[in-house]
Copies of this chain bind each other. A is one copy, B any other.
Amino acid sequence: MKVTALAGGIGAAKLLVGLAAVMPAEDITVIVNTGDDIELYGLRICPDIDTVIYTLAGIVNQETGWGIAGDTFEALKRLAEYGEPAWFNLGDRDLATHIYRTARLSDGWTLSRVTDHLRRSLGVSARVLPMTDDYAPTRVETDEGEMHLQEYFVRRRCEPRVRRVLLDQAEAAPAAPEVEDALRSADAVIVCPSNPMISIGPILAVGGVSQALRESRATVAAVTPIIGGRALKGPAAEMLRDLGHAVSAAGVAALYCDFVDLFVLDQTDAALAPEIEKLGVRTLVTNTVMTSVKDKAGLARIVLDSVTSGTAEGSGR
């Protein structure tokens, strides 16, 4: 069975570890958001790609969910002494990834090719694809002006209120070469528990992705990033609120109901299942909090089973 996942960063990476534990990792393709990419100090930084690769490689910093375990920050400290902004944390080992990527891009490699080299170098068997080879950063319009997503997210710690997520650059970008085929030829597509607006939204906005998803024969399942009205990580709840959506699994399901067959929500939110089913989406109620490897594999297993059986075990129905 071929599985294609749409992924943001930390939450997605956890589910991917689970997937790789319960099926052959070679049969997994991950299409990763690059809307949060940023250029700093002339280096191209792809936070979601790196989080996915580092996590699948087993070298991620488990405490933060991003960066490399045990990394040091000597270069960043010195860059700050030279007067460079240092609000985006880049470790020394991590910097090597950005230096390598930037050098290869400058040699004319596509981001897809660089990403493939990086994941292979780190022993990751799952195929990892950027959503696009273009540099198409997401910008956000806030009550304090328009800014790069990372400025809002990291530098401003999600303090400004978001009025609009600007995906025009993603919309103008074509999908990376293998992306559409990975969606069309998949048996199952899994939308990972990532921020719907700034992680999954940009992927869906990229040219060709939504159509390939609609035309795919795959069953499409989404795992909620919202549990009990809150995101485990990141600003998904605040952004849902600011943008006028229900701050709940049902609010996310409403954003996905056009292309999703199955919505996986947490047992905490079991009462929301009927509301979601009314959107024409099957539901699966289970534990979606992934702390241990067992949690990750367990969630991956139950989602895969449900997708392949075509029935929704433990469903609210």
Chain A residues within CB distance 8 Å of chain B: 41-43, 71-72, 74-79, 81-84, 91-93, 95-97, 99-100, 102-103, 106, 117-118, 121-122
Copy tally for this chain in the complex stands at 2
Provide a sorted-by-A list of 20 A–B residue pairs whose CB atoms are within 8 angstroms: A41-B103, A42-B102, A43-B99, A43-B103, A72-B92, A74-B91, A74-B92, A74-B93, A74-B96, A77-B96, A78-B97, A79-B96, A79-B99, A81-B121, A82-B96, A83-B121, A84-B103, A92-B92, A95-B95, A95-B99
Residue pair B103, A42 in contact (C-beta under 8 Å) = yes
Q: List the B side residues contacting A122 at CB < 8 Å.
A: 81
Tell me the bound Cα distance from A6 to B122 in angstroms.
Answer: 46
Q: Which residue of B lies closest to A101 (CB)?
A: B82
Interface of A (DSSP majority class): helix
Pick the contact of A71: B74, B99, B106, B121 (CB < 8 A).
Answer: B74
Q: List the B side residues contacting A42 at CB < 8 Å.
A: 99, 102-103, 106
CB distance from A99 to the nearest CB of B (A): 5
With known contacts A41-B103, A102-B42, A121-B83, A96–B76 Cβ distance under 8 A: yes
Tell me the bound Cα distance from A76 to B43 in angstroms.
Answer: 16
Q: Top 9 A-B pairs ranked by shortest CB distance?
A: A78-B96, A42-B103, A92-B92, A75-B96, A74-B92, A79-B96, A82-B100, A41-B103, A75-B92
CB distance from A307 to the nearest CB of B (A): 35
With known contacts A74-B72, A75-B96, A93-B74, A82–B121 Cβ distance under 8 A: yes
Residue pair B93, A75 in contact (C-beta under 8 Å) = yes
Q: List the B side residues contacting A118 at CB < 8 Å.
A: 82
Residue with the highest number of chain B CB atoms closer than 10 Å, among A77, A95, A106: A95
